[in-house]
Amino acid sequence: MKRVKMFQLLLSFLSVCGWSLAVYALLVFDKARPERAVGYYLSKGESVRLGWDQTQTIELEYVIWSCAAISFVSLAFNYYFANHSKMEYWFNIPLLLMASLAAGLYVRFVV
């Protein structure tokens, strides 16, 4: 197998792992923070969750930071391989890194 093909498979694997963790964080940890628009929900007659599970919030933070770490490693591989071969830069890797960093900082400092 050619070296570029192996690098592409490695980047694909890291990218799929990172995005899978991001989707997992969205699906599983819905009770990791309280509702934000309490007044709007109360005016519409909806039930509102005022508390949240602290253990799930901590687990959500770990999942988000691991997603950021995977995307950072993938970005480093992509940068190295793009400079040393004919492979191009992948757009989804910096996008995942920015999204996971923003979510991690939000969970860490706002929630």
8-61 confidence digits (pLDDT tens): 888 888 888 989 988 888 888 877 766 666 666 666 666 666 667 788 888 888
pTM attached to this predicted model: 0.76
Mean of the per-residue pLDDT values for the chain? Answer: 81
Determine the Cα–Cα distance for residues 52 and 79; give it in Å rounded to an integer.
40
Distance of CA 93 to the CA centre of its chain: 11
Domain hosting 29: range is: 1-110
For a pLDDT cut of 70, what percent of the chain falls above it?
A: 81
CA dist 67 to 20, 21, 50, 71, 87, Å?
9, 6, 28, 6, 23
**Total tally of structural domains belonging to the chain:** 1
